[in-house]
Amino acid sequence: MLFALALWVSVSTNPAVLSYYGTAGVTETISYDDRVTDIQAIRISRNDEPYVVVLLKTKRKLRLKLYDDDLTLLATRTVRAVQEPYRIGAARIEYLKNAKAVQVRFIRMNDTTDEPVTYLRKRFSIKPDRSQPIAQLRSTTTVISEPTGSDVLDYLGAARLSAGMLPVKRNTSLDYGCALHAEYMRLNDEMTHDEDASKPGYTEEGAAAGVQSVITYQFDNSMISALDLWLEAPYHRFSLLYPEFTSTGWAMSDALYYNEYYNKYFACLNSIAGTEFDSSGYDKNVTYWDYDNHEPIPYPGVNQLNVPILFHGNEEPDPLEALGGTYPTGYAVSLIFPVGNTITDANVTLVDENGNNHPGYLRTPYEEDDPNASYQGNAVLFMAEDPFDYGTTYTATVTATRDGEAYEKTWSFRTTSDT
């Protein structure tokens, strides 16, 4: 359709504003009140006519709004309203092409403890010519718990949910490149993001996947084991928790003989190709959003259970080398701030359930003497000098100056039992 080439939609937050360039050839805008903390939009068509579906989030309510080409409001539908002590956490609207419907995924948070409580998905039909233009089709609710099980997507999703982030979706088209790169590493017995065209197994698709992925080698062929390694290694962890990471694919190599006791396997999971950043554009059925508009992301998550007791140091580059630290340390504790925040004077204290303070190694965003600052990004990272005790509750407190104002976050987690 001709209008699909010209129409344009944009969202911005703080304050929340929707902008739309329609068939009339002018840009219309709608500003929402200060209670709206997030806005997302999708441009759709029905019977060859253009429409805009908007998701508005306040502290305790999610709403859908349907506009026509003149930004005339056609319908409003409450997705979910919550009462104290809860609030709405991370949320996202998506177009489901096969169902010709929109889906809203979101997290219900305990507003007192900051703990993610439930993960909800609601599906709606959009039919502007009906008496009820926005009609709910389906609703599912899942209680959030610590990562368990053997399904890769569920395991990664549980880890993200425990940190207050929405699960990612499977994109099988990304599996192929990862499979090629994993095979390249196996053929050359080399863990590397880059491929050399002169070496066995080189492919353009594998080379592209290599620089877009987290990788590892291990002595079993379990992707769950690989995920545990990536979540343990802080720089790899960050890439798996970012809000813009929305879909992924992965692969594990065949076995490479290592010795009479072990085989060696290479794992690859694409963490870049499935990212979405756009807050404006022309495309239909695409979510336009401000990916940087999120709460700080803690890991381990608030009240997360079965947290590993130590960090082996299986990270490259090494976060401790410049600090003169030694491994193993306590399991890394991190808090990721939005990229647009300016974080200074950050500090971390870690206390166990018996009141013992645990000193450790601290890295804060963009330190001048940090050779790994580009990997660190806008995160605060703390590694206790000694491994944690089994079956023990630890409480972390992060203090900082955030965009010129005092900031503090305190949360607890419990380590795994000695079994």
pLDDT at 148 (0 to 100) = 84
Q: Give the C-alpha separation, 285 to 350, whole Å.
A: 45
pLDDT digit string, tens, across residues 199-231? 999 999 999 999 999 999 999 999 999 999 999
pLDDT category of residue 105 using cuts at 50, 70 and 90? very high
Architecture of domain 293-412: Sandwich (2.60)
What the block records as the tokens of 201 is: 């197994």
pLDDT at 3 (0 to 100) = 41
pLDDT at 2 (0 to 100) = 39
Q: Give the C-alpha separation, 296 to 102, whole Å.
A: 27
- Model pTM? 0.96
* Residue range 250-270: mean pLDDT, rounded: 95
pLDDT at 126 (0 to 100) = 98
Residue 157 has pLDDT above 70, yes or no: yes
Which class does domain 150-268 fall in?
alpha beta
Kind of pairing between the strands at 304-307 and 405-415: parallel
Residue that the structure tokens 């009141």 belong to: 355
pLDDT digit string, tens, across residues 10-59? 999 999 999 999 999 999 999 999 999 999 999 999 999 999 999 999 99
pLDDT digit string, tens, across residues 362-403? 999 999 999 999 999 999 999 999 999 999 999 999 999 999
Calculate what percentage of the chain has a pLDDT beyond 90. 95
* Residue range 240-263: mean pLDDT, rounded: 95
**Measuring CA to CA, which residue among 32, 34, 66 is closest to residue 51?**
66
pLDDT at 4 (0 to 100) = 42
Q: Give the C-alpha separation, 419 to 279, whole Å.
A: 47
Residue 321 has pLDDT above 90, yes or no: yes
Higher pLDDT pick, 2 / 286: 286
* Backbone torsions φ then ψ of 10, nearest 5 degrees: -145, 145
pLDDT at 419 (0 to 100) = 64
- Residues forming CATH 2.60.40.1220 domain(s) in the chain: 293-412
Do the beta carbons of residue 207 and residue 194 sit within 8 Å? yes
- Residues forming CATH 3.40.33.10 domain(s) in the chain: 150-268
